[in-house]
A = this chain, B = another copy of it.
Amino acid sequence: MIGFIGLGIMGSNMAANLLANGEELIVYNRTKEKAQPLLEKGAEWADSPKMVAHRADIVFTMLTNPEAVESVALGKEGLLKGLTKNKLWVDCSTVNPAFSKAMAKKTEAAGCRFIDAPVAGSKGPAEQGQLNFLIGGNDEDVEEIKPYLNAMGKSIQHMGKHGNGIATKLAVNLSLVTSMATFAEAISFGTSLGLDREQLMDVLFDLPVTAPVLKGKRNMMLHENFEAQFPLEHAHKDLQQISEAAYQTGSPLPVTHGAKELYAFAKHKGLSKKDFAAVYQLLSEGTSRQ
């Protein structure tokens, strides 16, 4: 039996793909309502993370941040209380390498196994089973979970030992979030010089100087309607995780920190809950006056 904990938008879609693949599933979430659709499709409900671990052989978690993982894993009715006999915990949450390594250690101390398996891809790919898994863990453990990952994703990158999956995820998000800020600057700069916004965006998308994922922000930026797909405050949080990990290894990141403070400004000006592309709104407001 497979366990799944954390049924937000991402987790619910991932769990649904496991069910669709024919797996027996036992699930837990802080609020039970979010589990309802899965229960209707045949998943079992557990009253605690501990109970999930007790019943399942492999447990996936997909939670918001280190604090949420800690609470699910280490609480009185937590996951680690139920993990016994060489069971396997696969954490898909976006945390940080030091945290993942600490979880790996605690899991191994309990005689069990740990994999960090964060994903690149958002809601759409999660629904369609098209996520990209970035994995840190032992070879045989990764081999063991591949059938389940394949049910949820389209690619699996095994990056090495514990913590390397989440390290890769942070590098991916560094690129994503800083590229968004750079693109916003390019458009804001070009329009301040009198260029047509739409035409400039299309030129930048057609030339190979722009990260392809940003094409998805075309309409948002054109209509300045930044309903959140990836909330700006999460982009800022990821940059903060990156900043703290870089501090630990002594890696200077001046450009990335420039982006971090730009998002900080955007939050400060009330854009936290908008899509992270709203960093463009911050930069462009007022340019029409020029």
Q: Does A22 contact B (CB under 8 A)?
A: no
* Given A257-B257, A258-B255: A175 and B155 interface contact (C-beta under 8 Å): no
Q: How far is the CB of A162 from chain B (nearest CB, A)?
A: 10
Q: Does A228 contact B (CB under 8 A)?
A: no
Nearest CB to that of A171 among chain B residues?
B190
Q: Does A87 contact B (CB under 8 A)?
A: no
A269: chain B residues at CB < 8 Å are 285-286
Nearest CB to that of A97 among chain B residues?
B193
A:104-155 near B, CB below 8 Å: 120, 132, 134, 155
CA distance A285 to B270 in the complex (A): 11
Most buried by B among A186, A196, A206, A287: A186
Q: Does A99 contact B (CB under 8 A)?
A: no
Most buried by B among A164, A176, A208, A290: A208
Q: Which of A51-59, A60-68, A177-185 contacts B (4 or more CB under 8 A)?
A: A177-185
15 A–B contacts, CB within 8 A, in A order = A159-B199, A160-B195, A163-B193, A170-B189, A170-B190, A171-B187, A175-B182, A175-B186, A182-B182, A182-B255, A192-B250, A243-B243, A250-B290, A255-B255, A258-B259
